[in-house]
Amino acid sequence: MGTIIDAADKVANGNSLTEKKVKVVFVLGGPGSGKGTQCANIVEHFGYTHLSAGDLLRAEIKSGSENGTMIQNMIKEGKIVPSEVTIKLLQRAMQENSNDKFLIDGFPRNEENRAAFESVTGIGPEFVLFFDCSEEEMERRLLSRNQGREDDNIDTIRKRFKVFLESSLPVIEYYSLNGKVRKIDAAKPVGEVFEAVKAVFTPTESDDKAV
């Protein structure tokens, strides 16, 4: 890694990935809140590249990587994989893509994820999209997701909800204190949720004046 360039670039821009300036939006919310579904809509309308931390970890298992078994066991238990592993996958995906706007879905999921990403990449989010949904509704959705995921069973779902409350919500609270959180009512039908999402991504007149 070009650490000198990295460090100088971080100091100069405060928001960069090696020599490339990138814009990042974190997409957070409980399991089944609709992050992946809405990210697909955002990609189509606003030209972002979607990076799902969970999808990257599942691809890593499939690729037969040396970390595969560890990742698979952690996902089955609903636990959060060490940041080092997930950040490497996210960094590689951003470096390999020529786009400069990324939706990072399902990351950061705990304080360790958040702090490590900021210190390793020097990137802070433009804002954080938070999909707010009741556990009852998320459970219903996960049990009928039908993607053959090993973690979409009631035992693992309960563990994931506990991890979300204990480890992920504090990250959302952290960004909330910094005025970065855009909270969306995610219990509504997909189209209505996307209307609220669109409003967040559409620049307003006051934004234009601020520039």
Ligand X SMILES: Nc1ncnc2c1ncn2[C@@H]1O[C@H](COP(=O)(O)OP(=O)(O)O)[C@@H](O)[C@H]1O
Query: Does 24 contact ligand CDP by CB under 6 A?
Result: no
* Cβ proximity to ligand CDP, 13 vs 70, nearer residue: 70
* Nearby residues of 151 by Cβ (< 8 Å), 6 or more positions away: 75, 76, 78, 157, 160
Confirm whether residue 123 is marked as ligand binding. no
Query: Are residues 103 and 46 in contact, defined by beta-carbon separation less than 8 angstroms?
Result: no
* Cβ proximity to ligand CDP, 160 vs 180, nearer residue: 160
Nearest residue to ligand CDP by CB is 54
Confirm whether residue 141 is marked as ligand binding. no
Among Mg ion, ligand X, ligand CDP, none, what binds residue 180 when CB lies within 5 to 8 Å by partner kind? none
Confirm whether residue 54 is marked as ligand binding. no
Query: Are residues 22 and 103 in contact, defined by beta-carbon separation less than 8 angstroms?
Result: no
Q: What's the gap between Cα 185 and its chain centre?
A: 17
Query: Are residues 115 and 170 in contact, defined by beta-carbon separation less than 8 angstroms?
Result: no
Among Mg ion, ligand X, ligand CDP, none, what binds residue 190 when CB lies within 5 to 8 Å by partner kind? ligand X
Residue 207 tokens, joined: 């934004």
The full length of the chain comes to 211
* Distance between CA atoms of residues 10 and 28, nearest Å: 25
* Cβ proximity to ligand CDP, 6 vs 55, nearer residue: 55
**Which amino acids are annotated as binding site for a ribonucleoside 5'-phosphate, given as ranges?**
58, 79-81, 106-109, 149, 160
**Which amino acids are annotated as binding site for CMP, given as ranges?**
113
